[in-house]
């Protein structure tokens, strides 16, 4: 059968389509070249790098020297069995990654403009031959998976980068071989394959690393499908999560299900995404996921609030704290690099923000000036912030630092709660604090791959104080500090060898959380037990209140039946090389000799000089405390805490620790201290002489503290039961459930932040505040205001809130705080044969009625009314009496106004008591049946009348029950100040 001839126009169309297809193929091929050149630019700085820039020139010298050393030591002989004597070949995972990393360093020098090795044909030949040897012996389609992470992204990325850098020297067979190996280990970047060949879903940093490896493989092999897969399968990382691995709405980042890891796997996420954005955006495989814009929110919410002076807190580094290296400043600088990489392709507003942040960090971070990284071999010396960076990143920093139009970001000031990972950071001018806690969802620490063997206490309330002393947590801090006495923890020194198999070490208590107000001040708390961590029975309740430039720490219920002396470590600071930082206690300098220790009684304040000017820290102890001080020289090896990669060199540091001792087997220990960063001994002494911090309560029911200078109060309610925290004799704040609450009064406004720290309350929290307001200014969804007067009442629906702080603000809050005055006189009188006998000066009054006159008793109380503030008027007046002795029944008691106030408690009797002003009682009530129960009744009208006269108010108590059942009420002589009678005046 013959087909009809093709019409001429159709033949012409077919020819055009063929030509367009060929042009499309050529364009696609050119685009692969474009992507490859982008990656080479990131690795080397590109052909246009400014080699006259002294920092870039120094980087090129370093790159060249590193490559030359590797090349000199490379085995080049026929039949070689390894590439380098000091790099193994027995483990195809870690050894493959290490060999490829060294080859990559050689390839970078080969491709770097200005290097004496640039374009060296002999070097290129040796690199390619080594790649072939790796493919034949260590990394190919037949390789058995051992260390999956090393094989699947470390070796994959390094091998692909090396091949891309020497691409012009490769033939098609070599490209096919190298890419086939990556296909073996990463056939699908959304999954990872274990050594048992089980396939698991990749998340977080692992997902990003795997997809970057696949993208590089696609570029090398000119396989658009692979690049497209990397661009699309990265999408899950952009989604916010409510549990497990990933980013949370509050800025938390979790990896390995239960670990705070922004400073570990988070660097892989941000670094890998910055590379993928650079590579793919603007190409045919651009990342188009609509959720990719979440990246910009992460910068401000998940990264910046974890960095002080360019250092990212180790509180979010997981087991990475056990790795020898530049530490927190190294992590912070890596993020600064990635922020600038993102900025190069970010929308204008985001780019300006990222550049401003990076400029601020680079300006603030002076830790690199003269820093020596003893972990590398040979040790690497740094001269400035740019030392050790690739030329590409130095060029990015230089452009930003030299651009006067880019304004460095202002230092942070505020309180940041990462409820998803149980971390809190707080910033005030000149310093920062990080707090690390653990819960039923977040592990105390992670040990895995033989890393972080001694991390027991890092999540048990460790407090990091950041000052101008930028090396405090560097300089071999982790292998030399006493890891059972970290700052902020309550400890008995107990330890337990972990299985080190990435096991979760979870708290058995759910009260772990934080609240904040106005974004400036916060309250955090943790109920803890050492049982899952070390096996000890030590347990207790701990709170931290962050008030501007101060931190208040309270503890209660500290109990243990295990062996070991219990103490709360106020601080444990790394000292100068001489170890002689001045410690001043109550104005007296303490010995500066290493090895000195002492238990110091009656300590009101202490001060420790910093390692640099302005970095001294003051400590204030409300009500004084016994303080154990220890100045010691300590030594250790990184291999003690990291047997995987830790150097065996022994390092030494000096430390000064201060601790509140609780003794052996405490049953209800407590502590209270205030940390005052950036103070001198003189300013610390001045604070102690006139402290602005008040401890309102430190009990098993609640922790409460106030900064009267800032008018900020923090309260942590520990139980699901009604509880009122008193402000002296006045009720201040009540809650019906476990809650964290922070309040701030300013300019007639009251701001409140409240959270469910348990993240388990499926209902609500009801609060009552001893204030009245004229109006509601604002309230988050979920907050219901029940009343504005005479007290504020609100209910917060916290179901599913994940530890979030709910905020509400009121206006027209009275500038006149309620006044409370104690009784000026109190006594009881007795009838019958006792009618002429005085019963004053007791700690109680007795009220009873009977058919027998001898049995009748009545109570008398007199109050001197306080002066009314100018411009104010009395709104209400109440008297509060507290039951000191109670019956099993509840007889009816009454209060009457007395006509006279001239009686004296030491002489008043039944016969001499004043007459009743009226036969109508002021109030009546059923008597309490539990000791300590208050009775409050209104006397407003009587008080207002009294203010027009002698400003005194006397009342009499009697009973209507004739059975002789008695009740006693506390007097001003009662030993318990909370029980004493009080008259409370509220003002308009």
Q: Which residues are catalytic?
A: 265
CA atoms lying within 13 Å on the CB side of residue 780:
18
23 Cβ contact list (under 8 Å, min separation 6) = none
DSSP letters spanning 467-496: -S-TTTT-SSHHHHS-TTS-TT-EE-----
- 306, 262 contact by CB (below 8 A): yes
CA atoms lying within 13 Å on the CB side of residue 313:
29
- 189, 207 contact by CB (below 8 A): yes
Give me 352's structure tokens. Answer: 């300006």
DSSP letters spanning 704-755: EEEETTTTEEEEEE-SSS-EEEEETTEEEEEESSSEEEEEEEETTEEEEEEE
- How many other β-carbons are positioned within 10 Å of the β-carbon of residue 141? 12
The DSSP output letter for 850 is B
Alpha-carbon distances of 424 from 435, 437, 534, 847, 930, rounded to whole Å: 5, 9, 24, 52, 40
* Of 422, 436, 413, residue with least CA distance to 313: 436
Is the bond preceding residue 378 a cis peptide, omega within 30 degrees?
A: yes
Q: What angle do CA 335, 338, 343 make, to 5 degrees?
A: 125
* Of 886, 894, 888, 949, residue with least CA distance to 919: 894
Greatest extent of the chain over all pairs of C-alpha atoms, in Å: 140
**How does strand 825-830 pair with strand 792-797?**
unpaired
* Of 104, 226, 223, 119, residue with least CA distance to 168: 119
Give me 856's structure tokens. Answer: 């009748």
Look-up of token digits 């002795």: 885
Query: Counting Cβ atoms within 10 Å, is residue 742 exposed (0-12), middle (13-18) or buried (19+)?
Result: buried
- How many other β-carbons are positioned within 10 Å of the β-carbon of residue 548? 17
Crossing angle of helices 265-280 and 327-343, rounded to 10°: 20
Crossing angle of helices 94-111 and 8-44, rounded to 10°: 100
CA atoms lying within 13 Å on the CB side of residue 141:
7
114 Cβ contact list (under 8 Å, min separation 6) = 49, 51, 56, 57, 60
- 928, 883 contact by CB (below 8 A): yes
Look-up of token digits 């900064």: 707
CA atoms lying within 13 Å on the CB side of residue 638:
20
Give me 137's structure tokens. Answer: 């012996």
Query: Which residues does residue 730 pair with via DSSP β-bridges, in sequence order?
Result: 727
- 98, 87 contact by CB (below 8 A): yes
């Amino acid at each position: 059968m013959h087909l009809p001839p093709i019409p001429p126009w159709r033949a012409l169309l077919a020819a055009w389509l063929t030509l367009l297809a060929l042009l499309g193929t050529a364009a696609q091929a050119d685009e692969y070249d474009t992507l490859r050149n982008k990656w080479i630019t990131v690795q080397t700085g590109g052909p246009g790098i400014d080699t006259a820039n002294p920092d870039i020139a120094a980087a090129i010298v370093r790159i060249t020297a590193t490559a030359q050393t590797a090349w000199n030591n490379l085995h080049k002989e026929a039949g070689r069995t390894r590439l380098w004597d000091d790099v193994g070949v027995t483990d195809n995972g870690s050894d493959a990654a290490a060999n490829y990393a060294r080859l990559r360093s050689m390839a970078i020098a080969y491709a770097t403009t200005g290097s004496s090795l640039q374009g060296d044909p002999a070097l290129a030949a040796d690199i390619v031959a080594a790649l072939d040897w790796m493919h034949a012996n260590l990394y190919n389609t037949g390789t058995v998976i051992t260390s999956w992470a090393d094989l699947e992204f470390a070796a994959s990325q390094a091998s692909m980068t090396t091949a891309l850098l020497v691409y012009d020297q490769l033939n098609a067979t070599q490209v096919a071989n190298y890419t086939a190996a990556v296909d073996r280990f990463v056939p699908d970047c959304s999954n990872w394959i274990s050594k048992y060949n089980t396939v698991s879903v990749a998340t977080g940093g692992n997902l990003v690393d795997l997809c970057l490896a696949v993208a590089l493989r696609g570029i090398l092999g000119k396989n658009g499908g692979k690049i497209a897969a990397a661009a699309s399968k990265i999408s899950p990382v952009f989604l916010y999560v409510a549990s497990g691995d990933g980013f949370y709405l509050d800025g938390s980042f979790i990896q390995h299900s239960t670990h705070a890891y922004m400073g570990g796997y988070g660097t892989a996420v941000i670094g890998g995404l910055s590379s993928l954005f650079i590579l793919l955006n603007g190409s045919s495989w651009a990342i188009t996921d609509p959720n990719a814009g979440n990246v910009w929110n992460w910068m401000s919410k998940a990264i910046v609030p974890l960095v002080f002076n360019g250092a990212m807190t180790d509180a979010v580094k997981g087991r990475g704290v056990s790795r020898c290296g530049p530490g927190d400043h190294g992590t912070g600088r890596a993020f600064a690099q990635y922020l600038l990489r993102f900025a190069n392709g970010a929308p204008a507003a985001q780019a300006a923000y990222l550049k401003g942040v990076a400029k601020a960090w680079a300006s603030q971070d002076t830790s690199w000036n003269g820093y020596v990284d003893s972990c590398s071999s040979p040790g690497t010396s740094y001269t400035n912030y740019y030392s050790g960076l690739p030329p590409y990143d130095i060029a990015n920093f230089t452009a930003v630092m030299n651009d006067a139009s880019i304004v460095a970001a202002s230092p942070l000031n505020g309180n940041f709660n990462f409820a998803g990972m149980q971390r809190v950071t707080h910033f005030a001018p000149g310093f920062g604090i990080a707090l690390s806690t653990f819960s039923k969802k977040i592990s105390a620490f992670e040990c895995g791959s033989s890393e972080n063997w001694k991390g027991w206490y890092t999540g048990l309330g460790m407090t990091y104080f950041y000052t101008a002393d930028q090396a405090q947590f560097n300089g071999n801090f982790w292998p030399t500090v006493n890891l059972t006495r970290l700052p902020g923890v309550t400890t008995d020194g107990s330890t337990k060898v972990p299985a080190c198999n990435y096991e979760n070490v979870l708290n058995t208590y759910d009260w772990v959380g934080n609240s904040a107000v106005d974004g400036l001040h916060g309250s955090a708390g943790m109920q803890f037990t050492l049982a899952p961590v070390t096996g000890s029975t030590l347990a207790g309740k701990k709170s931290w209140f962050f008030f501007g430039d101060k931190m208040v720490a309270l503890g209660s219920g500290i109990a243990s039946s295990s062996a070991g002396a219990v103490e709360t470590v106020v601080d444990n600071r790394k000292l100068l090389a001489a170890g002689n930082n001045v410690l001043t206690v109550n104005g007296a300098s303490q010995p500066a000799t290493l090895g000195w220790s002492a238990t110091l009684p009656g300590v009101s304040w202490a001060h420790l000089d910093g390692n640099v000017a302005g970095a001294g820290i003051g400590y204030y102890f409300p009500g004084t405390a016994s303080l154990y001080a220890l100045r010691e020289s300590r030594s250790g090896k990184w291999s003690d805490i990291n047997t995987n990669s830790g150097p065996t060199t022994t390092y030494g540091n000096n430390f000064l620790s201060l601790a509140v001792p609780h003794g052996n087997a405490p049953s209800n220990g407590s502590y209270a201290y205030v940390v005052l960063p950036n103070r001198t001994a003189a300013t610390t002494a001045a604070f102690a002489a006139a402290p602005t911090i008040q401890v309102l309560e430190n009990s098993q029911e609640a922790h409460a503290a106030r900064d009267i200078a800032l008018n900020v109060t923090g309260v942590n309610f520990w139980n699901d039961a009604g509880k009122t925290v008193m402000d002296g004799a006045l009720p201040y704040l009540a809650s019906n459930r476990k809650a964290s609450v922070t309040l701030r009064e300013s300019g007639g406004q009251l701001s409140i932040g409240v959270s469910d720290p348990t993240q388990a309350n499926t209902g609500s929290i009801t609060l009552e505040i001893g204030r009245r307001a004229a109006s509601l200014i604002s309230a988050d969804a979920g907050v219901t205001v029940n009343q504005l007067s005479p007290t504020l009442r609100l209910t917060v629906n916290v179901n599913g809130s994940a530890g979030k702080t709910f905020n509400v603000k009121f206006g027209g809050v009275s500038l006149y705080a309620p006044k409370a005055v104690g009784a000026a006189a109190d006594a009881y009188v007795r009838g019958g044969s006792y009618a002429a006998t005085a019963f004053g000066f007791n700690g109680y009054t007795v009220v009873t009625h009977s058919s027998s006159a001898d049995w009748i008793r009545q109570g008398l109380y007199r109050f001197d009314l306080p002066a009314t503030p100018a411009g104010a008027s009395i709104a209400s007046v109440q008297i509060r009496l507290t039951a000191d002795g109670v019956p099993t029944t509840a007889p009816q008691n009454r209060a009457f106004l007395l006509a006279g106030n001239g009686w004296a408690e030491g002489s008043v009797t039944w016969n001499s008591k004043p007459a009743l002003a009226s036969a109508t009682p002021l109030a009546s009530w059923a008597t309490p049946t539990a000791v300590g129960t208050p009775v409050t009744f209104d006397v407003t009208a009587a008080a207002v009348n009294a203010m027009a006269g002698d400003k005194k108010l006397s009342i009499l108590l009697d009973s209507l029950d004739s059975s002789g059942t008695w009740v006693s009420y506390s007097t001003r002589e009662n030993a318990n100040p909370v029980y004493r009678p009080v008259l409370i005046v509220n003002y308009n």
